[in-house]
Structure 1
C-alpha cells in the first residue's frame, strides 16, 4: 500500500471517530409535569383570540410555557390562524361562548347555540373541539350546568383574576398576578389587553424563577385530582354546592 493511500485512510478514520452522534440521540424527551408534585399555575386568556395573540404565542413559545385559551366563536372565525397555532403549539382550547351573553339571563336554546357555534368554529380552525366551558362573566346556574353536561363539559372558573381588563397597566397586572399566584391556581387574563401581552415576558420569567411550571388547566385538574364530571364547576365559588 502506498504512503499516500495510507495517509488518506488514517484521515478518514479520524473523521469518522470525531463525527457527532445523530441529533435525535442528543435530545432527551421532556418528562411530563406532575402538578401533584411541583408548583403549577394555569394562565388562562378569555375573549380571544385577540389581535395581540400572535405576540403572546411567541412569548409562550420562547419561555416554554403553556396556557389555556377560552375562545369566543366570533373571534375564532375572524382569526382562525391564531387558533390553529394555539392547538399546534400545545395550548389548551376552551369554549367561552360565541358572542359573550350572560347565560343566566339567556334562554336554553340561545345557550346551546352559543356553545355549539363555538365548538364548530374551533373544530374548523384547529381540528379539535374544546373540552372545557367557561361561561361568560363566570356566571352559571342550574340550567347552564345542565346544558354544559349535555355537551359533556365541566365549567372552569378561576382562583383569581389579574384585573388586566380594569387597570390596563403593565406594572399593575404583573403585581396583581404575582400577589394571587398559588400552586395549582387558575389565573384569569385577556389576550386582547395589550398591556397584558406586553408584560408577559417579564411576568413569565418571574413566575418561573419562583418555581412555577406554567401549564394548562387540564394539567392543574390532574394535580388536584379533581375528577370533574360534565356540568361540574371548578373551582367551586363560595356558597355553591357542586
Structure 2
C-alpha cells in the first residue's frame, strides 16, 4: 500500500478488498459563489424525492410533461431519419454497422463530425475526463486532483447526480467542469428520439437542480453516437465530446473499466496506458483520454499510476479539463453563463477522423457488462 492509500499495481484487480470511502472534504452552503464568472449562487440544498424524478438507472418514460416540453427544442431542427440500432453494438446490428460511415456512427468505425470535440489542439496536452460519477470513491480522486492543481471534466450520470449531490457540488466549486452523461447510461443510438431527449433532459435538469447551471456539453455512454444522436444533442444545446483515436486507430481508452469488469489486471491496464502515452508523444495535437470515477479500482489506477505517469513523463504532459484545453472560457461550459447563446449546431457534415476496430472499446464494455449480467455496471 502506497502513502496515498493506493495498492500496488499488481494488487489492483477484480475482486480486490474494498477500501474505505473518503468523506466529502468541503461542504458549500446555498448562496455560495461558484468559481465561474456570472454563474448564479448555489441553489437551495438539493433533497432527492423519488416522486419528482424518473426511476434511477432506467431509461426515463417519454410521456411526462417535462419530456414533452424538451421535445419542442427539436422544432425546426433537421433530425436525420435514422432508425435506432438494436443495442448500440456492431455485432448486434450488422445492417447498421455496414452503413456506419453514412450514419456517422462512432461505435462502428470511429466516425466523427466537426461538431464533435475529439482532441485538444495543443501538442502534449491531455484533456482529463472521468465518466459515470459522481460516486462514493470520486472524493478520493478529487483529493488528488485538487492537491495537484489539476482540473478535469466530469461526465455525470443523472441518476448519480441526484444520489450524490454533495460530491457534484464539490467538483463544480473546486473548478472542475461538469458535463452530461445521460440519466441511465444506456446506448443512445438504440433509443428513440423521445428517449434520447428524456435521457439528456433529465440529466440537465438534475445538474441544474444541484448546481444552478446547465452544461453545454455531453458525452454519449460507450461513445455510442451517430448523426441522429448528434443532431438531438446539439438541438438541446449540448455539444458532443468523445475521446481521441490515435492515427493507428487505437482509441485513447485507458481500459480502467476492463479491470473493474474482471477482463484484465492492473498490470495489463497500465501497459495499455503506456502505449497511449507513446502514441500521444508523436501526435501533432493534444488528446482526450477516457477514465472513470465510478469504482474504487478505476480511481486507484488514476491517482496511483496513470496521472502520475503523465505528470512525470519526459517531456511532461500538461493536464487540463477538456474545455480548458480547448481554450474555452469556463463560462462557456454552462448555458446560464456562456457568451454563445445560440449554442445549437443545425448542420452536421464531415468525415471520419480515425477508425476503430469492428468492435470498439465502447462495445466491449457494453458486451462485458451484459455478459456479466450486471445491469447497474456503467462504463465509458
Change over 3 Å in CA distance of 1:238–1:202 after alignment to 2: closer
In structure 1, the partner of 2:320 is 215
Deviation at 1:161, TM superposition (A): 0.3
In structure 1, the partner of 2:289 is 187
SS in 1 for 2:326: helix
Larger Rg: 1
| C-alpha distance in 2 between matches for 1:179 and 1:198 | 19
Change over 3 Å in CA distance of 1:36–1:100 after alignment to 2: closer
SS in 1 for 2:319: strand
Q: Does the alignment pair 1:92 with 2:177?
A: yes
Paired residues of 1:153 and 1:230 also in contact (CA < 8 A): no
Q: Does the alignment pair 1:230 with 2:230?
A: no
Could you tell me which runs of 5 or more consecutive residues in structure 2 were left unpaired when the two chains were aligned. 1-119, 245-251, 329-342, 357-380
Of 141, 155, 168, 2:240 maps to 155
Aligned length: 202
| C-alpha distance in 1 between matches for 2:155 and 2:304 | 21
Paired residues of 1:65 and 1:213 also in contact (CA < 8 A): no
SS in 1 for 2:213: coil
Change over 3 Å in CA distance of 1:234–1:165 after alignment to 2: farther
Change over 3 Å in CA distance of 1:147–1:179 after alignment to 2: same
Deviation at 1:36, TM superposition (A): 5.8
Paired residues of 2:127 and 2:322 also in contact (CA < 8 A): yes
Deviation at 1:123, TM superposition (A): 1.2
| C-alpha distance in 2 between matches for 1:195 and 1:234 | 37
Deviation at 1:187, TM superposition (A): 0.7
| C-alpha distance in 2 between matches for 1:131 and 1:170 | 34
Deviation at 1:220, TM superposition (A): 2.5
Q: CA RMSD in A?
A: 2.7
Paired residues of 2:235 and 2:344 also in contact (CA < 8 A): no
SS in 1 for 2:132: strand
In structure 2, the partner of 1:132 is 217
After the TM superposition, which segments of 4 or more aligned residues of structure 1 sit over 6 Å from their partners?
Answer: 231-235
Q: Does the alignment pair 1:176 with 2:272?
A: yes
Deviation at 1:235, TM superposition (A): 11
Which structure features the higher share of strand residues? 1
Of 173, 182, 205, 1:120 maps to 205
Which structure features the higher share of helix residues? 1
In structure 2, the partner of 1:196 is 298
Deviates more, 1:62-71 or 1:199-208: 199-208
Q: Does the alignment pair 1:206 with 2:309?
A: yes
| C-alpha distance in 2 between matches for 1:235 and 1:45 | 27
Of 259, 281, 306, 1:167 maps to 259
> TM-score scaled by structure 2?
0.49
Paired residues of 1:52 and 1:192 also in contact (CA < 8 A): yes
Deviation at 1:178, TM superposition (A): 3.1
Of 133, 145, 152, 1:48 maps to 133
Could you tell me which runs of 5 or more consecutive residues in structure 1 were left unpaired when the two chains were aligned. 1-34
